[in-house]
Amino acid sequence: MLDIISNREIKETPEEIVRQEYIKVLINDYGYKVEDITLEYSVKKSPSDTRRSLPVDIAIKENGTSKIFVETKKPEYQEGFIQLKNYMDFESDVTWGVWTNGSDTRYIKKIIKNGKIDYIERNNIPKKYFADVSEQIKKKDLITATNLRIIFRRIRAYLASSEVGTTRDENIAKEIINVVLCKVYIEKFTPSDEYYEFYANQDDDKKTAQRIKHIFEQVKNKYDEVFSFRDEITLTNQSLAYIVSQLQIYSLTDSSRNVLSDAFESIVGYSLKGEKGQFFTPKNIIKLMVHLIKPQKQHKIIDPACGSGGFLIESMLYVWENISNIGISDLAKQEDQRDYAMKKIFGIEKDDFLAKFCKAYMAVIGDGKSGIKILNSLSTPKMLEQHDINLASFDLVLTNPPFGKEISIENDLKSQYCSSKVDVAFLQRALDLVKPKGILGIILSEVVFHAPTYKKFRDLFFKNNKILSIIDLPHDTFRPFNNAKCVALILQKEKNSNHKNLIKMINLKEIGHTPQGNIKYIFDYDKNIITDELADDVPSVIKLLEENNFNNHFIKEIEQKRVIDEDVYIPRYYFELSKPNKENFITIENLISENILESFEGHGSPSSHFKGKGEYPYVRVKDIVNLEININEMDSIPEFEYIRLKWKERKLREKDIVFVRRGSYRIGDVGFVYKKDINSIYTKELQFFRIVDEKNKYYITKNNLLSLLRSKEVREQLENLIFMDTTLPTIYKRWLKIKLPLYNEQDMELLDKKMSSAYNKRQEFWDILNRSD
């Protein structure tokens, strides 16, 4: 990895990752420069010590004098606290100390009274040029945070360990979000050049708490439709001061991630989110979808699963930006913006906790609270009408409906939908809400876009409307909270008979975060280092869309008729990693149609009762290893089960090729069938290939076919042919579309000889082994 301070490559270790991440925080959030920071700074054990033998992980200097020490190598706070005190004891100028292990961060300040050194815990450290943390700053000096999740995780960790009686994630979330709303409120109503009141007095937690609670009373009074007079912040003064100190230097309204979404995702555990299906959409995906539908001030918009309001807020801000560019007075602009928020923004949320805070956030941001309804979106039309929600009345619908293991449709509501599948019901309801010629943007699991079980719904909803765009979302999009691979769909509710329209297929590879939810940076393969540039394809895609550049490695226009014919609505299927010359490639499908190749699937699965209780091998996906079949005697089955499952009119032959077509991440693995493998039973997740005409014009033989199937060209194609089927990857019948590379006769014969020689040597090994048995 790249060391930010020396700009040199260093060994990547867990401790070094923590240190480098905190260096970024010091530079980006606290304003310190690279030249202010020293790594492995040595301190003297005593004034007379000539050896500077105690290395501090990070030392921050100001005006040539050491100001702050940071300990990043000790994983536990108590150990780190003791280490920090030792360092700071020996360096008289250092007043502040920080311990962090990446997820939790604590601060201490050195106090010297009557010649004695003492240490007290503090809630933060000063920014560059500041002597203390409690100094007020002006609104214009607030900074945007690069990763609010880290900050909220830090707050959640602190409250979970320090706040008595508030350990449940939902209670913690309520407390944090109340404080967040206070901050957003103050940011909104404080002029740029004025000092703002959201700050912590470092030596007076009580005073800090009183000020923030007073702000919360203002929030409640202004937005009395949202808050009850009983609502209050119940945190201890110390905890409240800690939250304020962590947030005070940042501008939440200008930061790149949705504040409430990031807060909620960071502090609510998987079990709660899994039950309620609350998996929030990353802000960059929201931005892209809003950019594609381009809401205008006359458009009425709804999100029938609005959560914390991400789609609604981004749409509102998009329209506000357009209004601000109109040549009218500032007063008229403000009136238009407020009218849009009050009259055109609607949301439905079943969960009262989420709905309340969506209302609150919409209220603070733009007075759009009145359109948020606490309701089940799948309710009857009559029930929706009672809440001023009418079908076929919205110009735009943008939504990411809930999905999860416990989500289901209530029995008395099922009859109004074409399927009891929740995702299909939400798709149907979302389309019901859209006006004719209106636009729907929806995120659904990838399985909806390709699986045979969903074909009738694709024909009903996709085929009968005009698809504008489809976005292939990276698998990490909803991780770590949900492992679902999803696709976003933008369509117009319009009868589409000829399907000649072009669909903008968008293929995203990077989303900006890792599977663990941490920020992801671009890796420079030439320099073999991680850069400081965010690994996020969305800004590039938005730029290309603005330039009307629709034919590149991110975007491709495909006629809807072709998509319907292929019955694959997943963008990456239409992208080729390499662009093969058609004369030098041939598909497996063509080889079969030309009677050169034969293909058939495995036998099926034996009863689990009989596994390991016989002498006939049963071969599963995991047994295809190193280009051959591994026989696991623990899976062998008895003769009667073998007879039941074996083919009646077909028998395996030597040099048949087995191909993994379903299961985990082994799809595309191949292997030869040897003599020992012929009398085995194979799972149906395995496909077999057999050359039936070795005198073909392509010079493909049973020997070189294996080499072609494991070629780099084929492996590259698999990425775009493998889709997620609920929880497992599958290639289904798309293996037929695999293009095999073709070479001249001489090269194909050379491949044949090499593979034949390798096969014969391996067969000789098995023969010797079997004779020894």
Which range is least confidently modeled, 493-507, 518-532, 722-736, 753-767? Answer: 518-532
pLDDT in tens, 692-730: 999 999 999 999 999 999 999 999 999 999 999 877 899
3-state SS string over 654-699? Answer: CCCEEEECECCCCCCCEEECCHHHCCCEECCCEEEEEECCCCCCCC
Residue 274 confidence (pLDDT):
45
The rounded distance, in Å, linking the Cα atoms of 538 and 520 is 14
Q: DSSP states of 502-538 as a string? A: EEEEEE---BSB-TTS-B-EEEETTTTEEEEEE-BSH
How would residue 259 be classed by pLDDT, with cut points 50, 70 and 90? low
Residue 174 confidence (pLDDT):
82
The residue type of 557 is: E
Residue 482 confidence (pLDDT):
83
Q: Domains in the chain and their CATH numbers?
A: 14-132 (3.90.1570), 141-247 (no CATH), 269-574 (3.40.50.150), 582-772 (3.90.220.20)
Q: How far is CA 250 from CA 147, 168, 201, in A?
A: 11, 26, 17
CB burial of residue 540 (10 Å; 0-12, 13-18, 19+): middle
Residue 647 confidence (pLDDT):
93
Beta bridge partners of 518: none
Quote the DSSP letter at residue 9: B
Contact 19, 57 (CB under 8 A): yes
Contact 183, 198 (CB under 8 A): yes
The rounded distance, in Å, linking the Cα atoms of 7 and 27 is 15
The residue type of 465 is: N
Task: Identify which of 188, 527, 178 has the alpha carbon closest to the alpha carbon of residue 353.
Answer: 178
Report which of residues 663 and 611 the model is more confident about: 611
* Res 525 pLDDT > 50: yes
The average confidence (pLDDT) of the chain is 89
- For range 72-96, the mean pLDDT: 89
Which range is least confidently modeled, 338-342, 575-579, 685-689? Answer: 575-579
- For range 491-500, the mean pLDDT: 89
Report which of residues 527 and 214 the model is more confident about: 214
In this structure, are strands 65-71 and 54-62 parallel, antiparallel, or unpaired? Answer: antiparallel
How would residue 143 be classed by pLDDT, with cut points 50, 70 and 90? confident
Residue 368 confidence (pLDDT):
64
- Percent of the chain whose pLDDT exceeds 90: 62
Which range is least confidently modeled, 395-409, 585-599, 754-768? Answer: 395-409
Beta bridge partners of 281: none
Residue 183 confidence (pLDDT):
92
- For range 533-555, the mean pLDDT: 95
How would residue 271 be classed by pLDDT, with cut points 50, 70 and 90? very low
3-state SS string over 204-241? Answer: CHHHHHHHHHHHHHHHHHHCCCCCCCCCCCCCCHHHHH
* Res 46 pLDDT > 80: no
Beta bridge partners of 397: 302, 440
| Coarse DSSP helix, strand, coil percentages of the chain, rounded to the nearest 5 percent | 40, 20, 40
Other CB atoms closer than 10 Å to residue 131's CB: what's the count?
A: 10
Residue 665 confidence (pLDDT):
83
How would residue 95 be classed by pLDDT, with cut points 50, 70 and 90? very high
**Residue 10: helix, strand or coil by DSSP?**
coil
- Percent of the chain whose pLDDT exceeds 70: 92
Contact 684, 602 (CB under 8 A): yes
The rounded distance, in Å, linking the Cα atoms of 579 and 581 is 7
Residue 279 confidence (pLDDT):
64
The rounded distance, in Å, linking the Cα atoms of 276 and 517 is 20
**Residue 203: helix, strand or coil by DSSP?**
coil
pLDDT in tens, 574-590: 997 545 554 599 999 99
The alpha carbon of 261 is separated from its chain's Cα centroid by a whole number of angstroms, namely: 13
Tokens representing 345?
């923004």
**Phi-psi domain of 314 (left: phi exceeds 0; alpha: psi -120 through 50; beta: other):** alpha
User: Whose structure tokens read 């808050």?
Assistant: 227
Residue 257 confidence (pLDDT):
47
The rounded distance, in Å, linking the Cα atoms of 458 and 302 is 23
Q: DSSP states of 98-119 as a string? A: EEE-SS-EEEEEEEEETTEEEE
How would residue 480 be classed by pLDDT, with cut points 50, 70 and 90? confident
The rounded distance, in Å, linking the Cα atoms of 208 and 186 is 15
The C-alpha torsion from 250 through 254 and 257 to 260, rounded to 10°, is 80
How would residue 155 be classed by pLDDT, with cut points 50, 70 and 90? confident
> How many helices (H) and strands (E) would you count in the chain?
22, 29
CB burial of residue 571 (10 Å; 0-12, 13-18, 19+): buried
Residue 260 confidence (pLDDT):
53
Tokens representing 88?
């700071």
Tokens representing 122?
């503090």
- For range 569-576, the mean pLDDT: 94
192: which residues sit within 8 A by CB, 6+ positions away? 138, 139, 140
- For range 402-427, the mean pLDDT: 87
pLDDT in tens, 742-766: 999 999 999 999 999 999 999 999 8
* Res 163 pLDDT > 80: no
The rounded distance, in Å, linking the Cα atoms of 142 and 119 is 29
Residue 270 confidence (pLDDT):
37
Tokens representing 672?
């030869």
**Phi-psi domain of 134 (left: phi exceeds 0; alpha: psi -120 through 50; beta: other):** alpha
* pTM beyond 0.85: no
The rounded distance, in Å, linking the Cα atoms of 379 and 389 is 11
Residue 255 confidence (pLDDT):
67
Q: How far is CA 99 from CA 81, 160, 243, 320, 502, in A?
A: 7, 18, 17, 43, 55
How would residue 472 be classed by pLDDT, with cut points 50, 70 and 90? very high
pLDDT in tens, 128-137: 888 887 667 8
How would residue 272 be classed by pLDDT, with cut points 50, 70 and 90? very low
Q: What are the residue ranges of helices labelled H in 531-690?
A: 538-546, 560-566, 588-593, 639-645
Beta bridge partners of 143: 250
Phi, psi (deg, nearest 5) at residue 213: -65, -35
Which range is least confidently modeled, 52-61, 304-313, 507-516? Answer: 52-61
Which range is least confidently modeled, 148-152, 263-267, 552-556? Answer: 263-267
